[in-house]
Chains A and B, each alone.
Chain A
Amino acid sequence: DQQVKQNSPSLSVQEGRISILNCDYTNSMFDYFLWYKKYPAEGPTFLISISSIKDKNEDGRFTVFLNKSAKHLSLHIVPSQPGDSAVYFCAASDQTGANNLFFGTGTRLTVIP
């Protein structure tokens, strides 16, 4: 049973515009959420995270929003750049402190120059 879901397998955006990647989760015990970026033939690279006590976290061009009541989070990239083209994974961990991550299936972002 997939506890973290990314329902859009792909997204194409023009350079300079906003990219919005979405993620839903089902486990109410999740309290920490992360976004990873993955280029071909490389491992996932940590991008940005958010704790369940916050509803927004911003780092440069990247902002993550968390809506706990809807069990939904999103990653906004503004402005989008061609180098942002990659697969983005949403991940979540629960309150056990074990730091085990549960990943979504990923969204392939293509930024068109």
Chain B
Amino acid sequence: EAGVVQSPRYKIIEKKQPVAFWCNPISGHNTLYWYRQNLGQGPELLIRYENEEAVDDSQLPKDRFSAERLKGVDSTLKIQPAELGDSAVYLCASSWTGQSQYFGPGTRLTVL
């Protein structure tokens, strides 16, 4: 069974530029999560989807971050414009509702 797929794996951009991350969850998983992991910290939840609905986006900085989950499968997380403090690893995870989460390898973003 294929795991959670994320792309790109690495991204380097200059501040004020836009950037987008893509996630393909494990087939059949209805819940999808986006986390941000800063250096030396644990992952922190940004947004959680149940199917195509964003049911918890309380930690998502909505002034510059946006996300969507098309048809309840793939998801895209966007930052526009990026700031220096956005440099981090962005992790996508998926699960059946209430079950253990499976993480992708993450996208390491560097903002210069």
Contacts and interface: CB of A to CB of B under 8 A. Distances in A.
Interface of A: 4, 9, 34, 36, 41-46, 49, 89, 91, 97-101, 103-106
Contacts of A46: 100-102
Contacts of B97: 99
Classify the secondary structure of B's interface with A: loop
18 contacts: A4-B42, A42-B106, A43-B4, A43-B91, A43-B104, A44-B103, A45-B103, A89-B42, A89-B43, A91-B42, A97-B98, A98-B48, A99-B95, A99-B97, A99-B99, A103-B42, A106-B40, A106-B42
Nearest to A96: B56
A43 B45 contact: no
Contacts of B48: 98, 100
Contacts of B95: 99
A105 B41 contact: yes
B93 A43 contact: yes
A43 B106 CA distance: 6
A57 B100 CA distance: 16
B105 interface: yes
Contacts of B41: 105-106
Contacts of A101: 43, 45, 101
